[in-house]
Structure 1
Amino acid sequence: MADFEIVFRTHSEIEAQIVRGLLEAHGIMSVLSSAVPHSIFPLSVEGLNDVRIGVHSSEADEALRIIEDHRTELKNGEVIRLRDEFETLQQAIGYRFKDRGLLEHAMTHTSRANEDVSGGVVDNESMEFLGDALLGFVVADLLFHEFPEFDEGEKSKTKASLVSTASLARQAERLRIGEHLLLGKGEEKTGGRRKQALLADGYEALLAAIYLDGGIEPARGFITREFRDLIADVRRHGVGGEDYKSALQELLQSRDQPLPEYRLVNTLGPDHSKLFEVEVVVRGEPLSRATGSSKKDAEQEAARAALEKLKSP
């Protein structure tokens, strides 16, 4: 379904056929796909399959409008509104999904799946597994080519730091993945959108979704863009360089506090010799300020000052 977009999903094949007839009556051809492989379940079992209807990308908007206009007649299915719900996330990652159902799947935490009594919601754990393997491969390849002078131990240490839970959680926070996670009520109440582990898992699942939707090249390109600055930091500060931002984030997480925000509050000096002043904010309250020759350096210094403040008696 390379040129098709999913516009409707239901557990009822009868309802799926009704929707197909509705679309065809308006001149829109559609295709059916099921989340249950027919090689495993050759017989269709009503209420078991997650049946999806796809239409050509150029007709997706019109198909959604038609289905929505007849919404009162559709009892079990749901209109897929990933175009709206995940639009900001797609913009942030610089990739548009052909099958937006993959993106929804990647954002579905096990707590949401466990609360679904129909059994039709699948969590993202398998996608986390795939994304973790994909990320490890691409980052290892990047380090192999970027740091030929590093021995095996240095490469392994660098890779472990780059793909750590704290590192991936920071990447996820920057992309605001937490806002798009589909959580169960219990996980929502306990602040799941701010938990490092959930953010990192969602990030890995997102990588898998990009790979499954577009193949290895879009996934590799995304990871390369995401880790370009981090790899540059390794070249500047070395393998064992102190990462105060990571340390601050881990300390705040251990105290059940939200992730810190870094705000640029001032720019000083001429263009050829600028200094950047950055403020660290937690729960809307400023913790510290610092300056640096780059925003990243200023953020690191501000994080160091915040750590000292939080650790002081």
Structure 2
Amino acid sequence: MADAFGHSFRQSALLDQALRHRSAGAPHNERLEFLGDALVNLFVAEALYARWPKVDEGALTRARAELVRESSLAQIARDLDIGPRLTLGPGEMKSGGHRRDSILADAVEALVAAIYLDSDFETCRSAVLPWFERAMAALPPPNKVGKDAKTRLQEWLQGRQGPLPTYALLSEEGEEHARTFRVSCTLAQPEIVTEGEGTSRRAAEQMAAEAALARIDALQAERRA
């Protein structure tokens, strides 16, 4: 029976190694991460190639970069609840390493390699691709891929001669190594106010802009109905 990662390990030592950060000593997951990085890029590239049969290389490359970037992989790690299962050294434990994007993203890549080594290419791909399905489905149209939410929102407003959005910091909380920022995004035309949260002010602004774009899409759909 498959575990929470979509694969039932025959060699439990591989799973243990994939979830072991170098701060906890050898055998850690850095070599697995190297292999997993290549596998993730191949799986995602192949899936995008099939999903968008008429899209050019540039848009496919930008879409792949969006899906395999550190923050995207870290979100997959959170979806899979990898953080609590990581083995970290005392220093990383104390500083909240199980929440850090870089450590989580590396663990995802290492886990992919561990599944591959424990099984085969096809089994690994079948287990791993569902991790990316939600992010893949949320990709903007091919001609918009690679543009962040703030840029897309600004271009939409400028195309309609509307005033630019304003962003305001609402709150900043948490310890120094794990800050949480909350930001508002206000549009004048149409009148929309959204909020976003992130581990940096910029990330929170991006989330607020993404929420504003979603509201715009919803308003347009209502008008078409």
TM-score, normalising length from structure 2? 0.66
Note the residue ranges of structure 1 that are not aligned, 5 or more in a row: 1-86, 114-120, 245-250, 261-278, 283-287, 289-296, 306-313
Q: Which amino acid aligns with 1:200?
A: A
Name the aligned partner's letter for residue 108 of structure 1.
R
How far 1:94 sits from its partner (Å)? Answer: 2.2
CA distance in 2: counterparts of 1:252 and 1:178, whole angstroms: 21
How do residues 1-313 of structure 1 correspond to structure 2 at under 5 angstroms?
91-113=3-25, 121-234=26-139, 238-240=144-146, 242=148, 256-257=177-178, 301=211
Identity %: 38
Q: Is the 8 A contact 2:95 2:177 kept in 1?
A: no
Q: Distance in 2 between matches of 1:239 and 1:103?
A: 34
Offset at 1:235? Answer: 5.3
State the 1:122 CA deviation: 1.0
Is the Cα contact below 8 Å between 1:108 and 1:182 reproduced in 2? yes
Q: Would you say the 8 A contact 1:106–1:124 is kept in 2?
A: yes
Letter in 2 for 1:106: A
- Which residue type is aligned with residue 139 of structure 2? V
For the Cα contact (< 8 Å) 1:234–1:241, is it kept in 2?
A: no
Flag as ranges the 4+ runs of structure 1 deviating above 6 A.
Answer: 279-282
Equivalent residue letter for 1:239? V
- 1:191 offset after TM fit, Å? 1.1
Shift of 1:281: 8.0
Cα deviation, residue 257, structure 1: 2.2
TM-score, structure 1 as length reference: 0.48
Distance in 2 of aligned mates of 1:171 and 1:252: 24
Q: Give, in angstroms, the shift of residue 143 of structure 1.
A: 1.1
Which AA in structure 2 matches 1:175?
Answer: L
1:173 Cα deviation after fit: 0.9
Structure 1 residue 186, shift from structure 2 partner = 0.9
Q: How many residues align?
A: 173
Residue 301 of structure 1: how far off its partner (Å):
2.3
5+ long unaligned stretches in structure 2: 151-171, 182-194, 199-203, 216-225
- When you count helix as a share of all residues, which structure comes out higher? 2
CA distance in 1, matches of 2:83, 2:108: 9
**CA deviation after TM superposition for structure 1 residue 104, in Å:** 0.1
Q: Which has the higher contact order (CA 8 A, sep 6+)?
A: 2
CA distance in 1, matches of 2:34, 2:99: 21
Cα deviation 1:271-295 (Å, max 9, x = unaligned):
xxxxxxxx9889xxxxx9xxxxxxx
Q: Which has the larger radius of gyration?
A: 1
Closer, same or farther: CA 203–252 of 1 in aligned 2, 3 Å? farther
> Aligned in 2, Cα 1:252/1:170: closer, same or farther, shift over 3 Å?
farther
For 1:146-189, what per-residue CA distance to the aligned partner results, in whole angstroms no more than 9, with x for missing partners?
11221111111111110000000000011111111110111111
Matched-pair contact (CA < 8 Å) for 1:194–1:259 = no
Cα RMSD of the aligned pairs, angstroms, is 3.6
